[in-house]
Amino acid sequence: MLDQLRFYAAHSWNDLRSNPQRTAFALLCIAAGVAAIVSLQTLAVMVQNTLTANLQQSNRGDLQVRPASGNSEDGEAALQAAVEAGLLVTTPLTFGGFGTTQYFFSAAGYEQIRDWLQATYPGADVTYRVNVASPIALFTGSGQGVVLANPQTGEEANGILPVVIEAARYPFYGEVLSVDGAPLAELLTSPDDIALNTLVAEQLGVGVGDVVTLQGVAGTFTVRGVVPTDAEVRNPTQDFLAALNGFYMLDVAAFARFNAEALRIDPIYVRLPDGADVVAVERALGQRFSFTRATTTEDLRRTYERVSENVNQLVTVMGLIALLLGSVGIINTMQVVVRRRVLEIAVLKTLGLQSGQITALFLFEAAVMGALGSAFGVVLGWGLVFAIRGVAEGLLGQPLGFVIAPNAVIAGVVVGTLVTTVFGFIPTLSAGKVRPATVLRPEDTLIPRTGGLSTFGALLVVIAALSAVAAGILGSALQAVAVIVGAFLVAGVLFALLLLTIWLIGRFLPSFGLVDLKIALREMLVTRGRAAVTLLALVVGVFSLSLITLLADTVTQSIGQLLEQEDNVFIQVPNRTALARVETELNALAGDVQYRVNFAYRLDFVEVVRADGSTLTLDEIQARLIATDPFLAFRATPAPGEEVSLDRQRQLRAQELRRRNEFVQVIGGLGALTPEQLAAQPQVPFLSGRQLTPDDARGLVLTESSLITDAGLQVGDTIVYRYSVGGFLGLGARTNELRYTIVGVRPQPTDFALGQATNYVLQSSIPEDLAPNSISIAASIPPDQIAPLRRAIADVPQTFLIETEVFVRLFEALLGQFTAFPLLVALLGLVVGGVVIANSVALSTLERRREIAVMKSVGLQRERVLGMLLIENAILGLVGGIVGVGLGLVGLIVLLQGQVDAPINWPTVLLLMALCVGVALSAALTTAWGASGEKPLNVLRYE
Amino acid sequence: MKTSNEVLRAVDLTKQLKVGEVKVDALRGVSLSVARGEFVAVIGPSGSGKSTLLGLMGGLDSPTSGQLFIDGVDITRMNERELTRIRNEKIGFIFQSFNLIPTLTAEENVALPIQFSRLRTHHPVTRARELLTLFGLGDRTHHRPSQLSGGQQQRVAIARALANNPPMLLADEPTGNLDTTSSQIVLDAFRKIQRDLGTTVILVTHDMDIAATADRIIRIVDGRVAEDAPAAAVVPPLVGELA
């Protein structure tokens, strides 16, 4: 046995050495996949290390205390009690018709918590952060405290995170130093001092000593220091916008300059004395102050570990996909290795090697290739980490230190070797089938086909082995089998599609009398099986790249259409008082200003009265919604004899209620149109019924949605609503009823309509006593008047101005951040695809050395021979491009499902196809150059 | 069926080959017997079926009909696995184009059949060195085939064929790719093997001078045994015919 193993080893090693080019490309195929696994996993470890390196710094204390969320009845009651006791203050937060309440600690609340902590845990230290801007203000870049400006140049920076803290005490862990090395306590000594992060300072073009203004705050601030971004971006789950847009820092003394009614504190940072049990403190705090929730360093560790685990799983799956693509190269290589050594195999069988031993010999060689390629991949992966860590650093806003992660290396080598061996299995099966009598007729070296049953059996073995690998990554055997079987099915369909395309082109594309093209087409036809397998790898890479690029492109274009709309500003106001103030400011602006006000109302749905007088209650509608939802219908029906667990019943009930609530939300929202707005409605064909007319006193137009269709609502049905008037806190309110009859169902609108309900009635049909739920203004104003307007209404509470240009810019930045990583992985896939093609061309030229030599011996120049190979590969690249990009387009259409009304960016499509051809041509050129230059006599004599 | 002195016996062997769509009768009822330690030459014109016969005798292929006994055991009823074992233990093969494994050294090539043998009567490397020294290649043990001359390669192939000490050696045009001097060395080696080791040698050739070195000549024509006689009786009348 040991002797046999020694023979396998010597034979494999010698064979790999004797064909350096073939070996190099095969190793590269494996290495590219393994490099993806190693680099992505190493990156995940680097992210985890950075996040968990100093949890106290990341948490800005041992504990971070915030007002509790009012998700339960008890929680809500505790919050209300704290508000009534003056420990919490509230701010309503409404946007687009939806509202919530934000809770903050008041100065009294902060002091009570501080005093209790310091009395209970002597040595505990407490500080806080003042909230001066709501999340909506920050996201929309409007309101007080979120826009900085350079008064010298007029340059503005939008959506900047305010960090208002006690400069002398903040933060408890990890000092904030300016780029000049000055601590925060020295930078912010007066209410007029400000520190900017590098991003904002660069954007505004300001430095230490310059002055800046803050929207909604009178006077100027003097820049005392510029701090690095990672000084404040410490927790990626909280500090995402700060990393993206930047931040500024003020001492709490500056809060007096803000136009605010009360101090709003969130969060409170706590530093505990050494040796304190942070979890016990958290529990005691929660018992003493039930309206609080605290995040401990332990919570943060758990969160980060969960995030890291998910990221790790995701990147490993991505790496595995890259490796599987690279394995196509192994299949090709092993096929050629076997084909070129049929005679040798026959000799070995003559000498007494059994079929199984022959297969084992080649499998051993595949395993050696796997191990060597994996080792090479590990080194390549480390190199790759340096190239791609910038993407992760951009997402985290923190620098990442390089580490050698043993797990990543082990995973890369084990998975690489295993996958290579597994993929080498099918081609080597045919080696065992070589007839020994071939040795007597060396010219008859046709490789026998592996039987259908053997191939099927081998495929099962491959699927089982890959499932075992996937199960190790995904943690579920069933899921792993499903994923691998699914992947094989998809690959099978793709393979068939590519095979058919290549056959059609090879068979029917006219050669226009060009001999070179004719030979290229014939060769393509003969080797279509391998060409299709090779293209499989390229197609997956191109498909991913196309889908991500085109999706980002189309969504950006769609959002970009906002810029082309007449309205360039949208303003959300909370009530009629605020509306009056904003209208005054709008009318005071210089230049051509046009605007319209949209009112939206929210009503309680009661029932539907059908045209025949029968009624449809909410329960009946819910039953219809469940019956028409295939997922719910399936889950609701237990299999014969199956006992439905309580947990499943609960899940099912929650899903049913979600459908019911969605319906109530959709049907309860009504827009109100003035006669002018009705006249300006786009002329679109209705799905049923008609548009409203000024005479439709009780008419309603619904917008198409699956909920409306599934509920069975039709033109002629009357919807009965209810609304409350008057009263306080639910007491003494009067309930009125309102009925609207459906006159038409229109298709989904494609224009941007903030705060506008999708179903609408006439404004004249809205009762006087029904208050609007949302008021929004769509305005078209001169661009130079936008900033003055934003500043003028900055102090109007709960009023947000959205500038389409700023919104689009922010959206693009977010999109760029989110697509950076998938794009990177797709590019890796494309590189692997390129390597597989290079490998395939190298193998093809190796097999066709004799043919090339014959062509050269009858007088063809090297360039001509090379040209033929390039034509063949350009056609294949084009096929890969058409199929890959085509599938990307199909994926795009399926994903968007008509939600985005933006045209497909055809130049990008063409560019992606050209990229595919380019990859195929470069790969072919790299490998075919040497083969085309070989001396014909050498080949003809010795081949 | 086994007789103590008989190493191979063929009974009415036929073999039909398919060439494209056409079926060709390569062997049409060949019967013969070869004794232990005999040196037999199988001759015949190109396409007569001699290589097909060699393939059947070596268990490389199965006959369409008939029986073939090696050491008294009918190998026509054996499956591929059993045939492989027979090839490994009972038969040594030598080919015109040497067919050494190009990536292995001379020593590794010779040791190969022992490494995959069930019986393992010898240590592979020791045996390989012994045999290579016996054939005058003691200083070439670590050379690859590409570093050896044709004659040296064929001697390595002979050493490999003898590795498991088989009772029968089958050689298909063993001197076809060699010059006269090398051919003579190879033929001397065959004679030495037959005489000293008692190994049966069956040689397929179309060269009468080489066939004349055997004890017995079997002439195959159109898939049938046309003549089976001692070499001395066959050689003179055939010289003119084959030329």
Identify whether A788 is preceded by a cis peptide bond (ω within 30 of 0). Answer: no
Please tell me if residue A439 touches chain B, with a CB cutoff of 8 Å: yes
Q: What is the DSSP letter of B116?
A: T
Residues in chain A closer than 8 A to B51 (CB atoms): 440-441
Q: Which residue has the higher pLDDT, A244 or A597?
A: A597
Asked whether A930 and A844 are in contact (CB, 8 A), the reply is no
pLDDT in tens, A40-68: 888 888 888 887 777 888 888 899 999 98
Please tell me if residue A440 touches chain B, with a CB cutoff of 8 Å: yes
**Cβ separation of A351 and B87 shorter than 8 Å?**
yes
Rounded CA gap, A229 and A161, in Å?
12
Residue A216 has pLDDT above 90, yes or no: no
In chain A, the residue whose alpha carbon lies closest to the alpha carbon of B170 is: A350
Give the pLDDT band of residue B1 (cuts 50, 70, 90).
very low
Residues in chain B closer than 8 A to A10 (CB atoms): 103-104, 108
Asked whether B58 and B91 are in contact (CB, 8 A), the reply is yes
Return the closest-CA partner of residue A436 out of B154, B13, B85. Answer: B85
Asked whether B72 and B149 are in contact (CB, 8 A), the reply is no
**Cβ separation of A352 and B85 shorter than 8 Å?**
yes
Pick the residue of B97, B99, B127 with the most A CBs within 10 A to test the interface with A by mutation. B99
Asked whether A366 and A30 are in contact (CB, 8 A), the reply is no
Identity of the residue in A15, A18, A349 whose CB atom sits nearest the CB atom of B84: A349
Give the pLDDT band of residue A761 (cuts 50, 70, 90).
very high
In chain B, the residue whose alpha carbon lies closest to the alpha carbon of A349 is: B84
* pLDDT score for A679: 86
pLDDT in tens, A899-908: 555 667 788 8
Identity of the residue in A343, A351, A437 whose CB atom sits nearest the CB atom of B112: A351
Query: In this predicted structure, which of A666-680, A885-899, B4-18, B217-231 has the lowest mean pLDDT?
Result: A885-899
Please tell me if residue A71 touches chain B, with a CB cutoff of 8 Å: no
Residue A261 has pLDDT above 80, yes or no: no
Rounded CA gap, A830 and A537, in Å?
8
Asked whether A231 and A176 are in contact (CB, 8 A), the reply is yes
Pick the residue of B112, B125, B153 with the most A CBs within 10 A to test the interface with A by mutation. B112
CA A943 vs CA A47, A849, B106, B237: distances in Å: 53, 8, 22, 41
Query: In this predicted structure, which of A148-162, A437-451, A556-570 has the lowest mean pLDDT?
Result: A437-451
**Cβ separation of B116 and A353 shorter than 8 Å?**
yes
Asked whether A66 and A292 are in contact (CB, 8 A), the reply is yes
Please tell me if residue A14 touches chain B, with a CB cutoff of 8 Å: yes
Residue A71 has pLDDT above 50, yes or no: yes
Helices B150-161, B106-115: axis angle to 10 degrees equals 20
> In angstroms, how far apart are the furthest CA atoms of chain A?
106
Give the pLDDT band of residue A95 (cuts 50, 70, 90).
low
**Cβ separation of A352 and B88 shorter than 8 Å?**
yes
Kindly state the helix (H) or strand (E) to which residue B93 belongs, with its residue range: strand B91-94
Distance of CA A92 to the CA centre of its chain: 31
Q: What number is the average pLDDT over the span A736-750?
A: 87
A195-204, A799-808, B96-105 — which one is most confidently predicted on average?
A195-204
Return the closest-CA partner of residue A29 out of A824, A928, A840, A826. Answer: A840
Rounded CA gap, B89 and B92, in Å?
8
Using alpha carbons only, give the angle A876, A882, A887 rounded to the nearest 5 degrees. Answer: 130
Return the closest-CA partner of residue A651 out of A665, A678, A667, A631. Answer: A631
In chain B, the N- to C-terminal Cα span, in Å, equals 40
Question: How close is the nearest chain A Cα to the Cα of B231, in Å?
Answer: 25
Helices B106-115, B124-134: axis angle to 10 degrees equals 130
Q: What number is the average pLDDT over the span A646-669?
A: 79
Helices A355-396, A406-432: axis angle to 10 degrees equals 150
Q: Would you call A57 helix, strand, or coil by DSSP?
A: helix
Pick the residue of A11, A440, A443, A454 with the most B CBs within 10 A to test the interface with B by mutation. A440
Q: Which two tokens stand for residue A769?
A: 């006593």
**Cβ separation of A437 and B113 shorter than 8 Å?**
no
* pLDDT score for A361: 86
Give the pLDDT band of residue A144 (cuts 50, 70, 90).
confident
**Cβ separation of A343 and B172 shorter than 8 Å?**
no
Q: What number is the average pLDDT over the span A2-21?
A: 81
**Cβ separation of B115 and A4 shorter than 8 Å?**
yes
Please tell me if residue A623 touches chain B, with a CB cutoff of 8 Å: no
In chain B, the residue whose alpha carbon lies closest to the alpha carbon of A6 is: B115
Give the pLDDT band of residue A431 (cuts 50, 70, 90).
confident
Rounded CA gap, B172 and B50, in Å?
9
* pLDDT score for A926: 80
Q: Which residue has the higher pLDDT, A473 or A440?
A: A440
**Cβ separation of B103 and A343 shorter than 8 Å?**
no
Q: Would you call A604 helix, strand, or coil by DSSP?
A: strand
Query: In this predicted structure, which of A197-211, A819-833, B36-50 has the lowest mean pLDDT?
Result: A819-833
pTM: 0.69
Question: How close is the nearest chain A Cα to the Cα of B84, in Å?
Answer: 5
In chain B, the residue whose alpha carbon lies closest to the alpha carbon of A356 is: B81
**Cβ separation of B61 and A435 shorter than 8 Å?**
yes
pLDDT in tens, A163-189: 999 999 888 888 889 999 999 999 999
Burial tier of A837 (Cβ tally within 10 Å: 0-12, 13-18, 19+): buried
**Cβ separation of A347 and B164 shorter than 8 Å?**
no
Return the closest-CA partner of residue A905 out of A551, A539, A565. Answer: A551
Helices A452-474, A406-432: axis angle to 10 degrees equals 170
| Alpha carbons within 13 A on the beta-carbon side of A280 | 6
Give the pLDDT band of residue A718 (cuts 50, 70, 90).
very high
* pLDDT score for A275: 83
Residue A730 has pLDDT above 60, yes or no: no
In chain B, the residue whose alpha carbon lies closest to the alpha carbon of A442 is: B97
**Cβ separation of A437 and B81 shorter than 8 Å?**
no
* pLDDT score for B23: 85
- What share of chain B has pLDDT > 90, as a percent? 39
Residues in chain B closer than 8 A to A354 (CB atoms): 81, 84, 116
Asked whether A381 and A45 are in contact (CB, 8 A), the reply is no
pLDDT in tens, A383-394: 988 888 887 777
pLDDT in tens, A501-510: 889 988 888 8
Residue A74 has pLDDT above 60, yes or no: yes
CA A67 vs CA A79, A125, A162, A577, A797: distances in Å: 8, 19, 19, 30, 22
Asked whether A609 and A729 are in contact (CB, 8 A), the reply is no
Rounded CA gap, A428 and A439, in Å?
19
Question: How close is the nearest chain A Cα to the Cα of B111, in Å?
Answer: 9
Buried-exposed string A685-711: b where 16+ CB fall within 10 A, e elsewhere: eebebebbeeebeebbbbbbbebbebb
Identity of the residue in A7, A15, A441 whose CB atom sits nearest the CB atom of B115: A7
* pLDDT score for A189: 93
Please give, one letter per residue, the 3-state secondary structure of A625-639.
Answer: HHHHCHHHHHHHCCC
**Cβ separation of B88 and A441 shorter than 8 Å?**
no
Question: How close is the nearest chain A Cα to the Cα of B39, in Å?
Answer: 21
Give the pLDDT band of residue A90 (cuts 50, 70, 90).
confident
pLDDT in tens, A520-563: 888 888 888 888 888 888 888 888 888 888 888 887 777 776 66
Q: How high is the mean pLDDT of chain A?
A: 83
pLDDT in tens, B132-188: 998 889 999 999 888 898 889 989 999 999 998 899 999 998 888 888 888 888 888
In chain B, the residue whose alpha carbon lies closest to the alpha carbon of A443 is: B97
Give the pLDDT band of residue A731 (cuts 50, 70, 90).
low
**Cβ separation of B88 and A18 shorter than 8 Å?**
no
Give the pLDDT band of residue A311 (cuts 50, 70, 90).
confident
Residue A155 has pLDDT above 80, yes or no: yes
Please tell me if residue A15 touches chain B, with a CB cutoff of 8 Å: yes
* pLDDT score for A65: 93
User: What ipTM was predicted for this assembly?
Assistant: 0.81
pLDDT in tens, B58-92: 888 889 999 999 988 999 988 888 888 888 889 99
Residue A356 has pLDDT above 80, yes or no: yes
* pLDDT score for A397: 67
Q: Which residue has the higher pLDDT, A299 or B32?
A: B32
**Residues in chain B whose Cβ is within 8 Å of chain A:** 51-52, 54-55, 58, 60-61, 80-81, 84-85, 87-89, 93, 95, 97, 99, 101-104, 108, 111-117, 124, 160, 164, 172
DSSP labels for A383-418? HHHHHHHHHHHHHHTS-------HHHHHHHHHHHHH
Please tell me if residue A19 touches chain B, with a CB cutoff of 8 Å: no
Q: What number is the average pLDDT over the span A392-415?
A: 82
CA B27 vs CA A405, B95, B208, B238: distances in Å: 67, 21, 22, 22
Asked whether A88 and A103 are in contact (CB, 8 A), the reply is yes
Residue B240 has pLDDT above 50, yes or no: no
Only one residue has tokens 């299995």, namely A425
- What share of chain B has pLDDT > 70, as a percent? 94
Please tell me if residue A443 touches chain B, with a CB cutoff of 8 Å: no
Residue A666 has pLDDT above 90, yes or no: no
CA A168 vs CA A110, A163, A181, A232, A269: distances in Å: 18, 14, 16, 16, 14
Kindly state the helix (H) or strand (E) to which residue A911 belongs, with its residue range: helix A906-932
Residue B2 has pLDDT above 50, yes or no: no
Residue A614 has pLDDT above 80, yes or no: yes
* pLDDT score for B242: 46
**Cβ separation of B102 and A4 shorter than 8 Å?**
no
Q: Would you call A303 helix, strand, or coil by DSSP?
A: helix
A227-241, A276-290, A319-333, A516-530 — which one is most confidently predicted on average?
A276-290
Question: How close is the nearest chain A Cα to the Cα of B123, in Å?
Answer: 10
Q: What number is the average pLDDT over the span A867-876?
A: 87
Residue A20 has pLDDT above 50, yes or no: yes
In chain A, the residue whose alpha carbon lies closest to the alpha carbon of B88 is: A352
